[in-house]
A and B are shown apart, each in its own frame.
Chain A
Amino acid sequence: MSVIAPNFKLSGFIKSIIDDAVWFLLIFSLIGFPVIMMVLFYIPMPVIDGELLTPFLAFTYLADPTRTLPIVQAFMTTDMFKVMAFPGFGFAALLAAGTIFVERKMLAKLQLRVGPFYCGKVEGILQLAGDGLKLISKEIIIPAKADKPIFWAAPVLFVASAAAFVALIPVAPGWVVADVDMGLLAVFAVIGFFPIVTILSAWSANSKFPFIGGIRALFQMVSFEIPLILSLLGVVMVTGTLNLSEIAASQSSFPWIVFLPVGAIVFFITMLAELERIPFDLPEAESEIVAGWLTELSGMMYGLVQLGTYLKLYAFAALFVVLFLGGWNGPMIVPPFPMELATEGIELGPVTAKIGGLEPILSQVITQEMINGTLMFVLKTVGVIFFILLPRGVFPRIRIDMLLSLGWTKLIGLAFVNIFIALALVYAGVLGPGGLQ
Chain B
Amino acid sequence: MTAELPPGLAIQKVDERIMTLNVGPQHPGSGHMRIIVQIDGDYIVACDPDPGYVHRGEEKMAEYRNYITNIPHLERPVIHDSCNVLYPYVLGVEELLGIEVPERAKYVRVICSELNRCIYTMYWLAIYGIFLGHSTMFMWPAGDRELLIDLMEKISGARVTHAHFVPGGVRNDLPPNFEEVCLRQVNYFEKRIKEYAAVFYDNPILISRTRDTGVLSREDAIRLGTTGSVLRASGVDYDLRQKEPYDVYEELDVHSNVMKEGDSYARSKVPWLDMMESCNIIRQALQKMPKSGSVRVKLKPNPKGKGLDSVYKRVESGRGSLGCHIVSDGKVEPYRLKLSVGSFRNLIALPYLLKGEKLGNMPSVYWSLNYWPVEADR
- Which of A209, A279, A393, A399: most chain B CB closer than 10 A? A399
Most buried by A among B27, B42, B143, B360: B360
- Could you tell me the distance in whole angstroms from the C-beta of B196 to the nearest C-beta in chain A? 13
Cβ contact within 8 Å between B135 and A393:
yes
Q: Which of B148-156, B164-172, B199-207 sits within the interface?
A: B199-207
| A278, chain B: closest CB distance, angstroms | 6
B2 within 8 A of A: no
> What is the bound-complex CA distance between A113 and B27, given in angstroms?
26
A250 to B205, CA, bound (A): 38
* Cβ A287 vs Cβ B135 within 8 A: no
Known contacts A394-B199, A396-B203; is-contact A402 B208 (Cβ 8 Å): yes
* Closest B residue to A284 using CB positions: B133
Instruction: Say yes or no: B358 contacts A111, CB within 8 Å.
Output: no
Q: Does A202 contact B (CB under 8 A)?
A: no
Nearest A residue (CB) for B20: A208
Q: Which residues of B contact A399 (CB under 8 A)?
A: 209, 358, 360-361
CA distance A287 to B137 in the complex (A): 14
Indicate whether B21 reaches chain A with its CB closer than 8 angstroms. yes
Complexed CA–CA distance, A113 and B143 (Å) = 9
Chain B residues near A400 (CB-CB < 8 A):
42, 358, 360
B225 lies within 8 A of chain A by Cβ? no
Using Cβ atoms and an 8 Å threshold, which residues of chain A touch B187? none
Q: Please indicate the chain B residues that have their CB under 8 angstroms from the CB of A402 in the complex.
A: 208-209
Residues of B within 8 A of A289 (CB): 359
Q: Does A107 contact B (CB under 8 A)?
A: yes
B19 interfacial contact with A, CB 8 Å = yes
Q: Which residues of B contact A282 (CB under 8 A)?
A: 360
* Cβ contacts under 8 Å, B136 to chain A: 110-111, 393-394
Q: Name A391's closest neighbour in chain B (CB-CB).
A: B205
B21 contacts A112, C-beta separation under 8 Å: no
Contact B42 A398 (CB under 8 A): no
- Residues on B with beta carbons closer than 8 Å to the beta carbon of A287: 28-29, 130-133, 363
Complex CA gap A396/B133 in Å reads 5
A209 to B206, CA, bound (A): 24
CB-based contact A286/B28 at 8 Å: yes
Query: CB-CB contacts of A202-220 with B at 8 A, as 1s and 0s?
Result: 0000001100100000000
> Does A285 belong to the interface (CB within 8 Å)?
yes
Q: CB of B249 within 8 A of chain A?
A: no
Contact residues in A for B360 (Cβ distance below 8 Å): 282, 285, 288, 399-401
A273–B170 CA distance with the chains assembled, in angstroms: 55
A287 to chain B, nearest CB (A): 4
B135 and A208: CB pair below 8 A? no
What are the residues of chain B within 8 A of A392 when measuring CB–CB? 135
Residue of B nearest to A279 (CB): B205
| A208–B29 CB distance below 8 A | no
Which residue of chain A has the shortest Cβ distance to B199 in the bound complex? A394
Q: Which of B19, B203, B206, B363 contacts A288 (CB 8 A)?
A: B363
Name which of B42, B130, B133, B358 has the most chain A CB atoms within 10 A of its CB.
Answer: B133
Tell me if A396 and B134 are in contact (CB < 8 A).
yes
Smallest CB-CB separation from B362: which chain A residue? A288
Contacts A395-B203, A396-B206: A290 and B134 contacting too (C-beta < 8 A)? no
Contacts of B358 in A (CB 8 A): 399-401
- Asked if B139 and A112 sit within 8 Å, CB to CB, the answer is yes
Which 4 pairs across A and B sit closest by C-beta, in order of nearness?
A: A397-B133, A287-B29, A111-B139, A287-B363
Instruction: Mark A residues whose CB is within 8 Å of B.
Output: 107, 110-113, 208-209, 212, 278-279, 281-282, 285-290, 392-402
Q: Give me 20 other A-B pairs in contact (C-beta within 8 A), A113-B139, A395-B134 excluded.
A: A111-B135, A111-B136, A111-B143, A112-B139, A112-B140, A212-B359, A282-B360, A286-B28, A287-B130, A287-B132, A288-B360, A393-B136, A396-B134, A396-B203, A397-B132, A398-B205, A398-B208, A399-B358, A399-B360, A402-B208
